[in-house]
């Protein structure tokens, strides 16, 4: 089986596994919360996106990981993580909190979509081994991030002031 096919199968299965987890555990949990707390939980997850800087650390990723992909992915993740942290820090200042919630979700979603585009443009699935120790990021972490952005946008479009009793 080719590297490209293995990578693509694992990516699809990463989405499938997280969607199953979402339906069984995450979505019922988020729906049981007030809107602010649900978005706060999602922001907490995304606050760890500084981890994407690993794409530009020599020795962690292969030396042939295309820099056009690596730098964009690393700094897009960093920006998203910082915006998520700002949302967490401003939770008591609701207008700022909501601004940062929208911002980190917009920036984060755009980052992931553009990373997929760049990865395909440079043929990264065929050379997925260049992710090195960071291989788990696109397979396990990215599907969860993309799915939670979708959940966040859904919750933003259907806000609830109080959790159901």
For residue 140 the two structure tokens come to: 């396990």
92 domain-assigned? yes
The pLDDT of residue 89 is above 80: yes
126 domain-assigned? yes
81 domain-assigned? yes
Tell me what pLDDT residue 124 has: 94
**Residue among 94, 2, 80, 92 nearest 43 (CA):** 80
The pLDDT of residue 162 is above 90: no
**Radius of gyration, CA atoms only, the chain:** 17
80 domain-assigned? yes
Q: How far apart are the first and last CA of the chain?
A: 51
Average pLDDT for 80-96? 98
106-141 tens-digit pLDDT: 999 999 999 999 999 999 999 999 999 999 999 999
Cβ neighbours around 19 below 10 Å, total: 15
162 domain-assigned? no
Tell me what pLDDT residue 159 has: 75
Q: Report d(CA 155, CA 42) in Å as an integer.
A: 11
For residue 124, what are the domain limits? 35-54+63-157
- Choice between 160 and 122, residue whose per-residue pLDDT is larger: 122
For helices 94-121 and 35-46, what crossing angle results, to 10°? 40
CA angle 139, 16, 118 (to 5 degrees): 40
28 domain-assigned? no
17 domain-assigned? no
Average pLDDT for 150-160? 92
Could you give the number of structural domains in the chain?
1
DSSP class of 29? H
For residue 145 the two structure tokens come to: 């991030």
1-24 tens-digit pLDDT: 999 999 999 999 999 999 999 999
The pLDDT of residue 164 is above 80: no
147 domain-assigned? yes
């Amino acid at each position: 089986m080719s590297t490209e096919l293995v990578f693509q199968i694992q990516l699809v299965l990463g989405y499938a596994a997280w969607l199953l987890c979402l339906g069984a555990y995450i979505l019922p949990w988020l729906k049981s919360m007030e809107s602010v707390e649900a978005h706060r939980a999602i922001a907490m997850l995304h606050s760890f996106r500084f981890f994407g800087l690993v794409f530009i650390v020599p020795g962690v990723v292969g030396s042939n990981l295309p820099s056009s992909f690596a730098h964009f992915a690393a700094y897009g993740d960093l920006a998203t993580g910082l915006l998520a942290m700002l949302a967490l820090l401003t939770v008591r200042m609701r207008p700022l909190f909501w601004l940062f919630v929208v911002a980190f979700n917009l920036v984060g979603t755009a980052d992931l979509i553009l990373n997929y585009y760049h990865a395909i443009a440079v043929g990264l699935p065929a050379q997925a081994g260049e992710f090195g120790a960071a291989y788990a990021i696109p397979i396990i972490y990215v599907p969860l991030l993309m799915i939670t952005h979708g959940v966040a946008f859904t919750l933003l479009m259907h806000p609830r002031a109080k959790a159901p009793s």
